[in-house]
Chains A and B, each alone.
Chain A
Amino acid sequence: MKGRNNSDKSSRRKFLRKLGTGIGVVSLTGVPGASVIAGSKTESGEKIKLLSPEGRLVEVDRENIRPARETTDYIKEEARKGLHGRKFVMVIDLAKCRNARKCVEACQEGHMLPKDHEWIKLYLLQDDRNTAPYWLPRPCFHCDKPMCVSVCPVGATYKRDDGIVLVDNQRCIGCKFCMTGCPYSARVFNWKDPEVNLPPGQAYDPETNIPPVEGTVGKCVFCADKLRRRELPRCVTACPMGVIYFGDLLEDSITNGEETVRFSKIMDERAGYRYREELGTLPSVYYLPPFQRLFPFERGLEDVDEETRLRYRDAGPR
């Protein structure tokens, strides 16, 4: 998977990933809008090549193909349900982070975000004069008691059964109440036309929030589209230090792409915690304290450009 040019493929795959749940495969080779019914009895013997949800070319009998409901409505309906029997969780090891910003870049590229939209943000924090400064990557926390979802007047943002909180930007009216509701500043607003060039007829998918819409809210989606393909979120795979772990809480297992560990064990051994537990939002993102850090925090200010350095000019004890 590494380094492959994914840009056109990912957009294509968005249509295609529903095979695992039963329906919805779209053709790559001239059978637009077709899908496969698993286990159909009759066969014509005539095979047609289709792209599977995993992105592989498969042969399917013509009889088993019927037009897919690959409309935006269908995608949105699936995106509201979430993945059955999963509860996603992220663990961020603050001891390893050195503000390399690869997570930000991968996220922006993968979600076609403009440069000034950061769904995952890097903060330089210092709790007090006498405590150590540290880097804190902050994605959306996908809280179990999400304030943003509670306050949404139209149900544009919602919590799925697998724990992911998404935004339907075709429903969002842009009241920004969720942005004031979120205590973690995790949401961004499309203040102007995002000017994203997309192939015409591209269906909207809340799992990527592509295409973005002016006057609506966007935020980290835990790469829900990749999870559907059993792939790790973009920030996890992009991180050169392996800072970000991701997994299914129910399986008690998290991985950063290199090593796989038990969630309960690492929480126990590394004294994992959640940011501002007292707020009672029950985040799905946990942090491991920056104990015996791999890099001095100053490293994070060395390899970045001037503009990035500028944003931390006022950082310090609060």
Chain B
Amino acid sequence: MSEYLRKILYLISFTAVGVTISSAQDRPSISPYFQLQYFKNTKDQAYLQTTLTYSLNRIELPLPGMVISFYTGEKRDLPLGTVMTDEDGIAKLPLDGKVRLPFGADGQWTFNSVFDGNDTIDQVAADISVVNMDLEITLSKVDSIKKIELKASSQINGKKVPVIGEVVIIYVTRMFSLLPVGEITFDDNGTGTIDFPSDLPGDENGNITILAKIEENPTYGNIEKRVTERWGLPTSYTVPETHRALWTKTPPMWMIITLSILLSGVWGHYIFAIISLILIRTDAKRKKVNDEYKIKV
């Protein structure tokens, strides 16, 4: 399936399309954007996340402090809880197993989130359905070739079924973003393998965090697996010529030596001249005493 088609599908089925229920009064109100997403992190903890924003002068602004209600079930009638949006307009609801999630006909879960609106903000709702995917990541080293193997399966009607044809991107974590290092498409067994590049820098010890990520998949939502391994090249950064250079705090040795020689040479002569002047003065004093002595005698 092409990337483009996937995106279209995602837009239609997965992302929350804000359903605006217009209020009775004819006064200006905010019609917010509302998005519901399903996440499953590396510890296999799943959660739902909504983002509530609105557009002001073409700038997207968050709506913090709003109460979002989450539901599940075929009829979206089983309440999961309510969460208040944070300062980024995001509300997260962990699916920690307190509520048994009912499966749909195709083994999917259905979720629904609602923001009830208030005097100025319109009511919005969004829903998604997700099939639970179990993702496994295995790192192995064969003849110094580093291999990443992924295995994915889902539970449909109590049966374990391999995930076929889905694409997973492999990343490594970097300071500002994730660096993609490869792509795995699951084969008929729900597995896939790639070689990991041998020349990627890790941290000081060569540790590198590898990430397998399925993003915004129309069927499975967002799933990630991360694992840290000493597969990177150890980096050590020593600032070249840290201690003595033109542009550091401490100057190069030759500068100090040259300056000292020049200054001591010159000021030495100055001192000689000043001492001469002092001697002239003392000589004058001695002469004066002598003269007075002569007069006395």
Contacts and interface: CB of A to CB of B under 8 A. Distances in A.
Contacts of A251: 174-175, 179, 201, 235
B7 to A, nearest CB: 15
B179 A85 contact: no
Interface stretch (B16-24, B185-193, B239-247, B277-285): B239-247
Interface string B210-251: 000000000000000000000000010101101001111100
Contact of B237 (A87, A158, A230): A87
Of listed B62, B177, B178, B235, residue having the most chain A CB within 10 A? B177
Of listed A55, A57, A144, A231, residue having the most chain B CB within 10 A? A144
Nearest to A165: B247
A234 to B, nearest CB: 13
B174 A85 contact: no
Of listed B175, B203, B245, residue having the most chain A CB within 10 A? B175
B175 A3 contact: no
Given A231-B176, A251-B174, A252-B201, A85 B237 contact: yes
Interface stretch (A104-112, A145-153, A291-299): A145-153
A119 interface: no
A86 B177 CA distance: 15
Given A85-B235, A247-B176, A4 B61 contact: yes
B178 A250 contact: no
Interface residues on A, range: 20 to 34
A253 B235 CA distance: 13
Of listed A55, A56, A250, residue having the most chain B CB within 10 A? A250
A208 interface: no
A250 B235 contact: yes
19 contacts: A2-B59, A3-B59, A3-B60, A85-B203, A85-B204, A85-B237, A144-B240, A145-B245, A155-B249, A158-B249, A161-B239, A230-B175, A232-B176, A247-B175, A248-B176, A250-B237, A251-B175, A251-B235, A262-B200
Interface of B: 59-62, 86-87, 174-180, 200-201, 203-204, 235, 237, 239-240, 242, 245-249
Interface of A: 2-5, 55-57, 85-87, 144-146, 149-150, 155, 158-159, 161, 230-232, 246-248, 250-253, 255, 257, 260-262
